[in-house]
């Protein structure tokens, strides 16, 4: 297949995330949370594979008509931020003023973070929490902790977006990638498991989500503290 056709195919794959975000939003409006998260998970997988494909087929050279970075950012804001924030608010996990507070700080803080030119580090990790609210909210739906715990997590991670704390990119951060990639794949598997059992509180998927999430959160700061000058 011609390289230009392959490059175009990658753009079309990226663009499919917009469809998945719409399907997720329609499910969220009807409060079909498992369906919503399933579509968000599909969008997450697409987001995970389109980047390596884009670099492999050099889309900026072979099909420069479309800007894959802009396309990716638009879709990511919908699937990582906007829809998960809506679900957190509408689900009742955060009652009263706490729900309003959460959606305001999540959306306002995230749009600033997405436009920050310093969001990537030299090793292609993220500088600050990368606004992966889709992953956090899925775990919250699975665990259903006390609303104060949810509120504290939202505040801490919002503040972390504007810190210099490193968060790994499981695909692009080379250090520990041999471990990070399987852990990220395991997170996706546990997320799918939790969705398929409709977030049953006794599911072993919850433990898998907690353990893999802990690794994905702490791996970056540990690397940051142990990296050589």
CATH number of the domain to which 215 belongs: 1.20.120
Is 138 exposed, middle or buried (CB count within 10 Å of its CB: 0-12, 13-18, 19+)? buried
Tell me the mean pLDDT in the region 213-221: 97
Rg for the chain (alpha carbons), in Å? 17
Token representation of residue 153: 């997590």
Residues spanned by the domain of 16: 3-226
CA 110 – CA 200 distance, rounded (Å): 30
Tell me the mean pLDDT in the region 190-206: 97
Q: What is the DSSP letter of 184?
A: H
- Residue 229 has what pLDDT? 61
Tell me the mean pLDDT in the region 145-165: 96
Tell me the mean pLDDT in the region 115-126: 92
Contacts for 115 with CB less than 8 Å, ≥ 6 apart? none
What percent of the chain is modeled with pLDDT above 90?
96
The partner residues of 127 in beta bridges, in order of sequence, read 166
Read off the pLDDT of residues 11-53 as tens digits, 9 standing for 90 and up: 999 999 999 999 999 999 999 999 999 999 999 999 999 999 9
Is 165 exposed, middle or buried (CB count within 10 Å of its CB: 0-12, 13-18, 19+)? middle
State which H helix or E strand residue 126 sits in.
Answer: strand 126-127
Any idea what the Cα angle at residue 201 is, between residues 199 and 23, rounded to 5°? 10
Contact 220, 165 (CB under 8 A): yes
CA 212 – CA 205 distance, rounded (Å): 11
Q: How confident is the model at residue 198 (pLDDT cuts 50, 70, 90)?
A: very high
Any idea what the Cα angle at residue 102 is, between residues 89 and 144, rounded to 5°? 60
Token representation of residue 41: 């998970």
Q: Inform me whether the pLDDT recorded for 1 exceeds 80.
A: no
Number of domains in the chain: 1
Contact 81, 131 (CB under 8 A): yes
Q: Which pTM value belongs to this model?
A: 0.95
The partner residues of 224 in beta bridges, in order of sequence, read none
């Amino acid at each position: 297949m011609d390289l230009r056709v392959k490059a175009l195919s990658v753009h079309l794959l990226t663009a499919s995330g917009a469809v998945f975000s719409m399907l997720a939003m329609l499910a969220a409006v009807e409060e079909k949370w498992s369906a919503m998260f399933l579509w968000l998970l599909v969008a997450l997988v697409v987001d995970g594979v389109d980047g390596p494909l884009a670099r492999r087929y050099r889309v900026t050279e072979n099909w420069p008509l479309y800007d894959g970075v802009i396309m990716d950012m638009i879709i990511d804001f919908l699937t990582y931020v906007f829809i998960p924030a809506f679900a957190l608010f509408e689900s009742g996990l955060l009652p009263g003023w706490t729900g309003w507070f959460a959606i305001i700080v999540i959306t306002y803080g995230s749009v600033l973070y997405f436009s920050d030119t310093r969001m990537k580090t030299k090793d292609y990790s993220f500088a600050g929490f990368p606004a992966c609210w889709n992953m956090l909210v899925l775990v919250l739906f699975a665990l259903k902790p006390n609303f104060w715990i949810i509120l504290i997590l939202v505040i801490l991670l919002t503040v972390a977006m504007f810190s210099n704390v490193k968060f790994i990119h499981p695909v692009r951060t080379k250090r520990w990638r041999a471990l990070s990639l399987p852990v990220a794949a395991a997170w996706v598997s546990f997320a799918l498991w939790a969705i398929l059992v409709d977030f049953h509180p006794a599911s072993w998927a919850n433990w898998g989500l907690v353990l893999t999430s802990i690794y994905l959160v702490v791996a970056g700061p540990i690397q940051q503290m142990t990296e050589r000058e």
